[in-house]
Amino acid sequence: MSAYTATVTVRPKRGVLDPEAETTQRALERLGFDLADLRSADRFEVDLDAADAAAARARATEMAERLLANPTIHDYDVEVGEA
Amino acid sequence: MLTVTVAVIRFGGSNCDRDARRALDHLGVDAEIVWHAEGLPADTTGVVLPGGFSYGDYLRAGAMAAHAPILEEVREAAGEGTPVLGICNGAQIGGEAGLTPGAFTTNESARFQCEPVHIRVENAATPWTAAYDEGEVIEVPIAHGEGRFEIADERLQQLEETDRVLFRYCEPDGEVTAAADPNGSTDNVAGVLGTDDHVAVLMPHPERATLPDLGATDGQGVLRAFG
């Protein structure tokens, strides 16, 4: 078993409205910043022990499927690195 | 006569559980508040997932409660024909638990909104709407920050084809317009049915429009499904 950190990034699916990101963008613009677009995402860093990186990825992917993301509104990706 | 006992499930952070019980009492329906960890009582004849902010809306509104063990019991009861109604946070829980299609997420305004709205009965052939006519407009309050109904286009089409849309936000005269949609919900959807007609969720609060003392009684018909 080795120690891994799986990073799960959950973001609104393309085309799904993200009012919090829009509000944040407007606030940045009010502060005088020039920007073309802004997208938000949630990032979860999960420390876990697994036989190998593939097993760590599989477990983190299941976490995303079952709880961290809602497939109706979210896309997610999983990156695995040694902790 | 059978004793009818509706279980109003209280999670940490539920805050419309007492309102729901009182509204059901007013309609002559025996209802009890059940702490989620106690599990569903054996004689449960109906389930209300009430409004509130279960688990502080951590992760997503309803996501934590949707994975509480009692939801498995609710799912089994629903499978055996027990009526299940999710209101507001209960609707978010129902969506997260997969009892009903779609998801309720951040309002288009990105703000909490508390206001009366008009909704149109889209399917009157369900226990929740038997007291109304199809196309009837009722006035009920909303109180939510995450009520925007989202669903994939192809699923939305399925919902329409199988008559799963229960209520739509509308103008007082019943016209469904973008301006009457308080939160940016896809296709103005305010409430949907699960696979079976006896499972439903909606963001507006029928229990807050049931007691005559509160000045509005349009929501009574929804709760009469338990009677």
Q: What pLDDT does B1 receive?
A: 41
Nearest residue in chain B measured CA to CA from A43: B59
Q: Which domain holds residue B17?
A: 5-226
3-state DSSP assignment of residue B226: helix
Residue B2 has pLDDT above 70, yes or no: no
CATH number for position B178: 3.40.50.880
> What is the number of domains present in chain B?
1
Q: What pLDDT does A62 receive?
A: 98
Residue B110 has pLDDT above 50, yes or no: yes
> What is the number of domains present in chain A?
1
Q: What pLDDT does B31 receive?
A: 97
Cβ contacts of A18 on chain B, cutoff 8 Å = 106
pLDDT digits (tens, 9 = 90+) for A2-52: 999 999 999 999 989 999 999 999 999 999 999 999 999 999 999 999 999
Residues of chain B with pLDDT > 90: what percent? 97
Residue B3 has pLDDT above 60, yes or no: no
Q: What pLDDT does A83 receive?
A: 85
Average of pLDDT values for B39-47? Answer: 95
Nearest residue in chain B measured CA to CA from A17: B108
CATH number for position A21: 3.30.1280.10
Cβ separation A16–B150 shorter than 8 A: yes
> Where does chain A have alpha helices with state H?
19-30, 53-63
Q: Angle A34-A40-A46 (CA atoms, 0-180°, nearest 5)?
A: 140
Cβ separation A72–B184 shorter than 8 A: no
Among residues B146, B189, B115, the alpha carbon closest in space to that of A18 is found at B146
When CB atoms are compared, the residue of B63, B67, B106 closest to A20 is B106
Average of pLDDT values for B35-52? Answer: 96
Run of H or E including B141 = strand B137-144
**pLDDT band, residue B4 (cuts 50/70/90):** low
**Spatial separation of the C-alpha atoms in residues A70 and A64, rounded to whole Å:** 8
| Interface mutation target, options B57, B60, B93, chain A, most CBs of A under 10 Å | B60
Residue B187 has pLDDT above 80, yes or no: yes
**Spatial separation of the C-alpha atoms in residues A63 and A67, rounded to whole Å:** 6
Average of pLDDT values for B108-120? Answer: 97
pLDDT digits (tens, 9 = 90+) for B70-104: 999 999 999 999 999 999 999 999 999 999 999 99
**Spatial separation of the C-alpha atoms in residues B38 and B50, rounded to whole Å:** 16
> Where does chain B have alpha helices with state H?
17-26, 70-79, 89-96, 153-161, 220-223
Catalytic residues of B: 88, 205, 207
Average of pLDDT values for B176-204? Answer: 98
Residues within 8 A of A (CB atoms), B 39-98 only? 59-60, 63, 67, 95-96
Q: Which domain holds residue A33?
A: 2-82
3-state DSSP assignment of residue B52: strand
